[in-house]
Amino acid sequence: MAVVNRCSRAATAATTANATTAPTFAYLIRSLSPFSSSSSTFDPQNDLNNRNKPAVLGTLKRESKGRNVQWVFLGCPGVGKGTYASRLSNLLGVPHISTGDLVRDELASSGPLSSQLKEIVTQGKLVSDEIIIDLLSKRLEAGEAKGESGFILDGFPRTVRQAEILEGVTDIDLVINLKLREEALLAKCLGRRICSECGGNYNVACIDIKAENGRPGMYMAPLPPPPQCASKLITRPDDTEEVVKQRLRIYQAMTRPVEDFYRSRGKLLEFDLPGGIPESWPKLLCALNLEDREDKQSAAA
């Protein structure tokens, strides 16, 4: 109860605060979060072979399970943040924390915020910083109680103010900025399907962009559900054409500047997705100096 009260006091402060009052907020997260700046096991140093990459990548080793990773995924709606964040989270043994999932859980819980959130989310707008930080703080606190360490954040920060608050309380090692050709983003959102039972993410869209005017073609195969999920698929209410276009506009206005925020701090890794998972996953691992032995073994089998 004390935590909830502290959260709501800071949340109230956040609605009226400007960036200069962020430390109140920052203190709140630090007090709830297991992730202090001293917890990172990385030892960033410059790697001459990776001059355009964040320094941390020079120190990644191939045995990565259990590493105390503190990473962020950025990228437009539909780019595949959830897919790659979840794969990396399995590989590295750290939790994948999606603020979009936290919002949807809150919506489904029919709690006091539910109807307010429903209106915001179905219009493709951003939830206020106060609510998002409250949900994230609670999630981090629950993780701490379970002994979690490290995280891969997906969908947070989405505004420069959220990035400033996060930067004020912990060291983010690396920010992966996923990029995909614009023609594919809308199709991927419209094709997204979720299993209402297990939460699995699938896609019925088959994206086949022909090579044109010197630009290469791109193919992304559908990601079909396994038979046990096939009859339980649902579509996200904010994955309609009108709402996806609004979410893309909001990304440009509110989240694009977050890329500059991290770029200027030398933490941003730009990654252009070359296609679907089979082409993109190995290349992403390579860009991160990582290796997925299980993936290699199943490919070789």
Binding site for ligand AMP (CB under 6 A): 77, 99-100, 103, 120-121, 124-127, 132, 155-156, 158, 162, 238, 247
For residues 64 and 98, which CB has a smaller minimum distance to ligand AMP in the complex? 98
Q: Which residue number places its CB atom closest to ligand AMP?
A: 100
For residues 162 and 289, which CB has a smaller minimum distance to ligand AMP in the complex? 162
For residues 44 and 200, which CB has a smaller minimum distance to ligand AMP in the complex? 200
Structure tokens at 68: 């105390």
Residue count of the chain, please give it.
301
Nearest to 82 by CA among 61, 104, 67: 104
Which residue out of 67, 87, 192, 267 is catalytically annotated?
Answer: 192
Which residue out of 67, 104, 139, 158 is catalytically annotated?
Answer: 158
- Centre a 10 Å sphere on the Cβ of residue 149 and count the other Cβ atoms it contains: 18
| Residue indicated by tokens 């920052």 | 26
- Centre a 10 Å sphere on the Cβ of residue 202 and count the other Cβ atoms it contains: 17
236 assigned to active site:
yes
For residues 79 and 91, which CB has a smaller minimum distance to ligand AMP in the complex? 79
- On the question of a cis peptide bond just before residue 157, with omega within 30 degrees of 0, the verdict is yes
CB of 99 to ligand AMP, least distance (A): 3
Helices (H), 95-202: 99-108, 114-122, 129-145, 160-169, 182-191
Given a contact cutoff of 8 angstroms between Cβ atoms, the answer to whether 79 and 220 are in contact is no
For residues 156 and 271, which CB has a smaller minimum distance to ligand AMP in the complex? 156
247 assigned to active site:
yes
Nearest to 266 by CA among 136, 173, 193: 173
CB of 185 to ligand AMP, least distance (A): 12
CB of 62 to ligand AMP, least distance (A): 30
Structure tokens at 120: 């915001």
Nearest to 270 by CA among 75, 92, 125: 75
Which residue out of 118, 125, 232, 236 is catalytically annotated?
Answer: 236
CB of 120 to ligand AMP, least distance (A): 5
Which residue out of 67, 104, 193, 247 is catalytically annotated?
Answer: 247
Given a contact cutoff of 8 angstroms between Cβ atoms, the answer to whether 61 and 68 are in contact is no
CB of 146 to ligand AMP, least distance (A): 22
158 assigned to active site:
yes
79 vs 154: CA distance, rounded Å:
12
- What are the catalytic residues? 81, 158, 192, 236, 247
